[in-house]
Amino acid sequence: MIGAESQVNSPSSALAGSAPPAVVLTGLTKQFGRFAALRNVTAEFVAGKLYAVLGENGAGKSTMLRAIAGLLQPTHGKVTVLGANSVREVCDQLGYMAHPSLLYDEMSGLENLRYFGRLYGIEDDQRCKDAIVMVGLDPALTRPVGQYSQGMRQRMSLARALQHDPTLLLLDEPFSNVDVASARGMVQLLGRMRDGGKTIFVVTHQARLLADLADEFVWMHAGNINSRVPTLDLEAVQ
Amino acid sequence: MSAPVVLSEAEVKEVSASPAPTSWKITTASLSKDLWLEWRSKDAINSMIFFALLVVVIFSFSFDPTAEESRQIVGGLIWVSFLFAAIVALNQTWAREIRNQVLDAYRVSPAPPNALFLSKALGNFLFVTVLEAVMAPLFMIFYNLKVLGPAYLLLLIAALGTWALVVNGTFFAAISLRTRSREVMLPLILFPISIPALLAMVEATKIVLTGESAAKFWIVLLAVYDLVFTVVCLTLFETVLNAE
């Protein structure tokens, strides 16, 4: 499944050099009842890189992302984000996009961003509009998000996640149901953001889209990080 | 739909850090959003008014009290019908936040949890106040009521009583969010804890309507109840919001 023989069971990044870690997971375990979604995950992710988090369904990818976002309390272990032991301290530097849109269906895209922007102290409409344009949508679109296509909703969700210019972006399945051209556009945007110094985690089943862009492919299996490799073995993702 | 992402690097605007928003700003932003959504859908208001209207009509057909008897029983009737009707709005308080997991977007933001709670409670307070403004005159007509005590006190009792219902209702609606049958759970939790407030509202209203004695004790009781439960709800809401 994974073309990562060289680094299996070596969760600390080979890329970890002088750059400070953006995320440090120490013995992270998350149990839901008797089911362990994450099992003693220890890893360090340096800042300014784009990480593609891959693995089969139920591997723990989304759970790891939610734990980093502070949406889940670890059963055991510790999550350090941007040097803070409590995600709450740095949540204004964090952008999170989940599989559901996290948007109000009854409001237009701009109305949604206007509201969520205020939660981050953004009063300027122009910044909301810029974020919408950035993901390739039209800020003048007045119809409610509930009437958007799934792909448009995904892109609006991305706009919501990045409108406050976060340092750390956590994206769960950003390309699902997005057409190929739009997905490539999103990938280019992520590339520019990474080049601008952001740390980006992308959970995806469409690894090929990130083949030329991601700095590291983090393979997960059964609640643990199986391997971390700098290149994608295309045969492995057939 | 416009073309997919094509902005150049230069167009990806570098934005400076925004000043941290105050709790009150977030409360007002969240409240205006809720009022705007309710204005568009009228889900809560319509169902509350329709429900309360049914209660008034059914009660008026069931009893045929004299004016004096009405003054004795209407305090109970009116508050029980408002409580039942308020449940409709309270159950919908968090429904929109659960759809598409919007609540998670709030949880990952720097916005304080209390601001969200306060906005929801204030929103419900406004919805129930509108209901009371519409229904109170109908109660007066259907039960041929004439207030014998100081009528202005009814406004104070209404404000304190409504807050007692909505502050607990909003809190317990948040608690029952993650339960499977949340619409049944809310009244099961809310009604018992509202008994002291309900008793105070009913007694105070009856006293003002009949003009028999002073309602001060019950009004003070209601104010203390409001204060205690507002503080408790605000203190515990963050835990409720982040519960898994």
Nearest to B110 among A120, A127, A137 (CB): A120
CB contact under 8 A, A103 and B4: no
Q: Which of A10-14, A77-81, A96-100, B105-109 has the lowest mean pLDDT?
A: A10-14
Whole-number average pLDDT of chain A: 89
Task: Count the alpha carbons within 13 Å of B18 in the hemisphere toward its beta carbon.
Answer: 21
Mutate to test the interface with A, among B100, B101, B106, B242 (most CBs of A within 10 A): B100
Residue A4: predicted pLDDT: 37
CB contact under 8 A, B15 and A104: no
Q: Which residues make Cβ contacts (< 8 Å) with residue B19, sequence separation at least 6?
A: A121
d(CA B14, nearest CA chain A) in Å:
8
Alpha helices, DSSP H, located in A73-231? 109-119, 125-134, 150-162, 180-195
Residue B96: predicted pLDDT: 87
For residue A119, what is the nearest residue in chain B, using CA coordinates? B111
Closest among A58, A68, A67 to A37, alpha carbons compared? A58
d(CA A146, nearest CA chain B) in Å:
10
Q: Is the pLDDT of residue A14 over 50?
A: no
| Chain B touched by A100 (CB under 8 Å) | yes
d(CA A11, nearest CA chain B) in Å:
26
Contacts of A112 in chain B (CB under 8 A): none
Burial B33-49 (b: 16+ CB within 10 A, else e): bbeebbeeeeebbeebb
Contacts of A193 in chain B (CB under 8 A): 12
- Segments of chain B scoring below 70 in pLDDT: 1-21
> In the predicted model, what is the mean pLDDT of residues A220-229?
93
CB contact under 8 A, B12 and A73: no
Domain ranges, ordered by start, for chain B: 23-242
Find the helix packing angle between B216-241 and B152-175, rounded to 10°: 20
> In the predicted model, what is the mean pLDDT of residues A187-198?
94
d(CA B48, nearest CA chain A) in Å:
21
Interface pTM, i.e. ipTM: 0.88
Residues of chain B with a CB closer than 8 angstroms to some CB in chain A: 1-7, 9, 11-15, 17-21, 25-26, 29-30, 33, 36-37, 40-41, 96, 99-102, 104-111, 242, 244
Looking at mean pLDDT, say which of A3-7, A28-32, A205-209 comes out highest. A28-32
d(CA A95, nearest CA chain B) in Å:
8
Compute how many other C-beta atoms are within 10 angstroms of the C-beta atom of residue A83: 12
DSSP character at residue B100 = G
pTM: 0.86
Binned at pLDDT 50, 70 and 90, residue A16 comes out as very low
Binned at pLDDT 50, 70 and 90, residue A236 comes out as low
Nearest to B108 among A69, A134, A188 (CB): A69
Mutate to test the interface with A, among B26, B108, B239, B240 (most CBs of A within 10 A): B108
Tokens of B229: 């439960």
Q: Which residues make Cβ contacts (< 8 Å) with residue B241, sequence separation at least 6?
A: B103, B107, B113, B116, B117, B174
